[in-house]
Amino acid sequence: MKDSIIKQKFDTLKTFPVLKPEILTLAKDYVHQSDDWKLLRVNPLKFANEHKLSENDAVDFFVHAAKVGLFDFAYNLICPMCGGIVHSHHKLDEIEGKEFHCVSCNIVVPTLLDDQVEVAFQIHPSLQKNEIDPFVDVENYFRYFFSENFDKSAELRNWIQSTIKDYAKLNPDDSYSFNFEATYGGLQGHLIQFVSIDRNAMCLFAVDSNLPPSNQSYLVDLMESGMKPNAISIPVGKHQFTIHNRTRFQVGLNVLTPNPKEIERIANAYPTIRHSFLTAKMLLNNQSFRDLFRIQKLSPDLNLNVKSLTIMFTDLKGSTEMYDTAGDIFAYKLVQEHFRILTEIVRKYKGAIVKTMGDAIMATFSTPTEGLLAALEMMERIETMNLEWKKEGYEIGLKVGLNEGSALAVVNDERLDYFGQSVNIAARVQGLAKSGEVWLSETVWNATGSESLVKEHGYFYRKQKATLKGVGTPVPVFQLSRKKLKEPTKWKSLFIKS
């Protein structure tokens, strides 16, 4: 470990005001005292829990540490069934496709930033060379290529272990042979599977009772594009299987006798415990990541799906008039103070400001509850700010709209942005609000505890239906205000020019 360079990295981190000294001290000790396995894939949420820190503070540290080159990002595509790391990337835009295939489970998984993309942090290779050999034995192999955030039950682990018939390490151009007597019937015998988890490749041999029994030899080529062939029907009999590594890489090879129905039964009876980890969605909703990596070069073709995103739009009432009456300097100062308050609150509730538009912002949060809490606190802070400015004869009014739904993460004007109907609805819902009001879509309102939070913060609410531009039928919306609200007598309509 290059201690002098690491010291320089931490000296640089001390210059960032958002990072607390106690976190830097803990992190420095962690780096020096951890072995290769601990520094392979650091989970910042686990780090926060173990050191009694807030998750926000821990994520902020690791994002800044990646910026200065102390750690490197690892975007891991995780199979939800087995916890296997199907692909790992160092850049967000290296993630390709709307889905990926886990060869271990033989299932196709949607590439969702919410659940299936784990963000971990690896010590930067320029500071310390990782000495782990993932291919030395099957224990290292599984530990290296499976996420520790998926804790399988003892029953499931034991059953999986019973299906592993052999493990081999293959260098480029090496071959491996395995003899197996294929039968038909019982829990095992129907299938034999050769799997290279590190190459995400497999070949499945299925016993076909309709074929006449015979003894056969089979040759499978492990190519960089996968195993060829990858599925073969074989008869009952004594067979020899040979796998030839035609890649440029050292690979690991597992020989399994899987039983999909049995593994599903055991997994349902003894569920895998999934521990909290930083997802790509949570990272994109981190203000430090947005600020530090805003000029990160990303592919213009990047488009990734987010299953559930809470989107906030805000706007100001009265700022234009204030520029006319109070002058540019005074009005600018007030508007900038409003931006400072909103940014502080967005960060507090694990959100990020995606962009500003004049006096308005677009922000995103990982959950509706975090978005709603942020909106309510924004209102309270602006009210407090207005108490001071009213003495000068001026005040501003904040208007907020929230919606939750799916979205598409894309690159727009060289930065990450979101598009889709959910974003459009959030903007339209905000357009319904008057000064001092928060408007919610039904998806935000239906989130656990929303009604209680609204009442606790002293807000009245009423449900209405609104006709929003671009949405075919009237949709339920919820109006929140400090003032008591009358029941609506008719639907409201909103049409906003594009």
Tens digit of pLDDT at every position of the chain (498 positions): 688 999 999 999 999 999 999 999 999 999 999 999 999 999 999 999 999 999 999 999 999 999 999 999 999 999 988 899 999 999 888 887 788 998 888 889 999 899 899 999 999 999 988 899 999 999 999 999 999 999 999 999 998 899 999 999 999 999 999 999 988 764 445 789 999 999 999 999 999 989 999 999 999 999 999 999 999 999 999 999 999 999 999 999 999 988 878 888 998 999 999 999 999 999 999 999 998 986 555 666 667 889 999 999 999 886 666 666 666 777 788 888 899 999 999 999 999 999 999 889 999 999 999 999 999 999 999 999 888 777 766 778 899 999 999 999 888 777 788 999 999 999 999 999 999 999 999 999 999 889 999 999 999 999 999 888 877 788 899 999 988 877 654 444 444 433
Please count the residues of the chain: 498
The fold for domain 298-494 equals Alpha-Beta Plaits (3.30.70)
**pLDDT of res. 491:** 45
Burial class from Cβ neighbours inside 10 Å (0-12, 13-18, 19+) for residue 336 reads exposed
The structure's pTM equals: 0.87
First to last CA, the chain: 55
User: Parallel, antiparallel, or unpaired: how do β-strands 303-317 and 273-274 relate?
Assistant: unpaired
**pLDDT of res. 13:** 97
**pLDDT of res. 395:** 75
Domain ranges of the chain: 3-131, 154-271, 298-494
Nearest to 287 by CA among 340, 223, 331: 340
Q: What SS3 string covers 284-342?
A: HCCHHHHHHCCCCCCCCCCEEEEEEEEEEEEEEECHHHHHHHHCHHHHHHHHHHHHHHH
User: Looking at this protein, which amino acid is placed at residue 230?
Assistant: N
321 and 396 Cβ atoms separated by less than 8 Å: no
* Cis peptide upstream of residue 44 (ω within 30 degrees of 0): no
- CA pair distance 314, 356, nearest whole angstrom: 9
- CA pair distance 390, 385, nearest whole angstrom: 9
CB within 8 A of 186, min separation 6: which ones? Answer: none
User: Parallel, antiparallel, or unpaired: how do β-strands 303-317 and 360-365 relate?
Assistant: antiparallel
